[in-house]
Chain A
Amino acid sequence: MKQTSIWLSLLLLLAPACVQSQPWKFTKPIAISSNHGEKIFHHLESSGRHNIAISADTVAVAWEDNRDGTPRIYLARKGRNSKVFLDSIKISGAGEAYEPSLVALSNNQFVLSWEEDARIHLRLVTPSKLGPVITLAASEAAQPSLTYFDSQLLLVYARRDNRYSRIWMQDIEVDGQELHLKKACVVDSDPPQNEQSYPSIIKLPDRKIVAWEDRRLGHTIIMAAQSDKKKSCRFHSPQRISDALPNRTAKYGTGHGVARVALAQFGAGKVLAAWADKRDFREGYDIYAAHYQPNGKQLFTPNIKVQDSFGDVAQQWHTTVAGDQSGRLVVGWDDKRDGDANIMLSWLEGNNWSEDLAVPGADGPGEQNHPTISIDQEGNLHLAWVERTTINGPSQLRYLFGRLNKE
Chain B
Amino acid sequence: MRAILLLIITFLAMPVIAKPPHGYPFQSFDKAMQQAQSEHKPLFVYFGRQGCGYCDLTNKQAFSDKQVREAYSKHYVLAYVDSESGKRLLLPSGERVTERELGTRYNAFVTPVFTFMTTDGQSLLRLVGVQRIIDLREADTKVQQLLSKPAIP
Contact = CB atoms under 8 A, between A and B. Distances in A.
A198 B105 CA distance: 20
A252 B105 CA distance: 23
Contacts of A217: 51
Contacts of B140: none
B49 A257 contact: yes
B109 A219 contact: no
B53 A251 contact: yes
A96 B130 CA distance: 38
B84 A259 contact: yes
Contact of B96 (A71, A143, A252): A71
A392 B93 contact: yes
Size range of the chain A interface in the assembly: 35 or more
Contact of A253 (B55, B88, B96, B104): B55
A196 to B, nearest CB: 12
Given A259-B100, A391-B105, A253 B51 contact: yes
A403 interface: no
Contact of B52 (A43, A45, A257, A282): A257
A395 to B, nearest CB: 9
A255 B86 CA distance: 19
A257 B100 contact: no
A45 B18 CA distance: 27
A253 B86 contact: no
B86 A142 contact: yes
Contact of B49 (A66, A71, A220, A391): A220
Contacts of B49: 219-220, 257
B28 interface: no
A300 to B, nearest CB: 21
B27 to A, nearest CB: 20
Given A217-B51, A220-B49, A278 B17 contact: no
Given A41-B95, A220-B84, A315 B109 contact: yes
B100 A392 contact: no
A285 interface: yes
Interface string A247-260: 00111111101011
Interface string B38-68: 0000000000011111111100000000000
A251 B57 contact: yes
B131 to A, nearest CB: 13
A278 B15 CA distance: 21
A251 B130 contact: yes
A155 to B, nearest CB: 17
B91 to A, nearest CB: 7
B95 A219 contact: no
Contacts of B100: 259-260
A96 B55 CA distance: 34
Given A41-B93, A219-B49, A281-B110, 17 more contacts: A45-B101, A66-B96, A98-B88, A218-B17, A219-B50, A219-B52, A220-B50, A220-B51, A251-B54, A253-B16, A253-B52, A253-B55, A257-B49, A257-B84, A259-B84, A283-B109, A284-B110
Interface of A: 39, 41, 43, 45, 66, 71, 96, 98, 142-143, 197-198, 213, 215, 217-220, 249-255, 257, 259-260, 278, 281-285, 315, 317-318, 391-392
Interface of B: 11, 15-18, 49-57, 83-84, 86, 88, 91, 93-98, 100-101, 104-105, 107, 109-111, 121, 130
15 contacts: A41-B93, A45-B98, A45-B101, A142-B86, A197-B86, A215-B50, A250-B53, A251-B53, A254-B50, A284-B109, A285-B109, A318-B104, A392-B91, A392-B105, A392-B121
